[in-house]
Amino acid sequence: MGSSKRPNGRSQPSSLRWIVIAVVSFLPAAWGSRYAATRDGDSAAVLVGRVTEVTDGDTIHVALASGPIIVRLHSIDTPERTQPWGRQATAALARRLRQGTEVTLQPITQDEYDRLVAVVYLNDENLNAWMVQQGHAWAYRQYLDDARYCAWEQQARASGRGVWSLPSSERIAPWEYRQAEREQTEIVMGSTVETETACVAAMNDRGPVTNTAAQPSTPAGPCRIKGNINDKGDRIYHVPGSDSYERTGVSTSRGERWFCTEEEARKAGWRAPRG
């Protein structure tokens, strides 16, 4: 697992990489003197530390006995601070994790920014899950490995909690928002299918781009143009009835999407097939 979140422009301690490598590679030998009940009651090695800062809704700074570390919350993605509900998500996590609060961390991996990716527990409560349940975070399809996050997101959406209280035009998945910023393309409203079924399908879809299990070949409504990304990274849209349409899949975990019109697809950076 990795993360596409930006590192917030902060320089990280030179020792941080080695702390993370030690945590991920050598647990429990190096750190495993303390255990806690984690997912489904299993016992797993955890780290214990105190929160020094909440950077945003899914990133915190923690002081371990071995030194400071940056932690990216596993399985969730909160709105960027420049997005609607970004500040509210950060504030919600900060209220739970005030400076000096003791937390336990269930390490998962190290991301590309040298952060420890982990499940964060406050006493016995999974705060990653809590953020999704309260509507402050999305289940992060691309790195998800627990379908319960999809169910929790659906429950928050049905109840209109947090980000789900906003108009649909303002509910842009954070990964789509970042992609549009990077590529300087227009954000296509509603391009993420907001259903539990689509969330689980995206989580399970780890196959080639032609795997149609990610979403149904004929979605509900008029938006039936498939925005596919091939192995070279080319963004190509396929209209119903075209040669490649039936064998082309749409995987939202890869950044692929459905479009309602060809104009909409072109504005978002997709092109028609050549030849």
Return the residue matching tokens 């800062």: 53
Tokens of 34: 């303390």
161 among known catalytic residues: no
Selecting among 17, 53, 115, 153, the annotated active-site residue is 115
134, 164 contact by CB (below 8 A) = no
72 among known catalytic residues: yes
Closest CA to 16 of 94, 101, 116: 116
Q: List, in order, residues 6 or more apart from 199 with CB less than 8 Å away.
A: 139, 141, 144, 147, 149, 150, 153, 154
Q: Hey, how many other C-beta atoms are within 10 angstroms of the C-beta on 200?
A: 18
Closest CA to 57 of 19, 83, 24, 20: 83
202, 258 contact by CB (below 8 A) = no
Selecting among 10, 34, 53, 72, the annotated active-site residue is 72
Return the residue matching tokens 């400076």: 99
* Beta pairing class for 67-73 and 116-122: parallel
Selecting among 6, 17, 34, 80, the annotated active-site residue is 80
- Alpha-carbon distance of 176 to 266, in angstroms, equals 16
Active site residues: 72, 80, 115
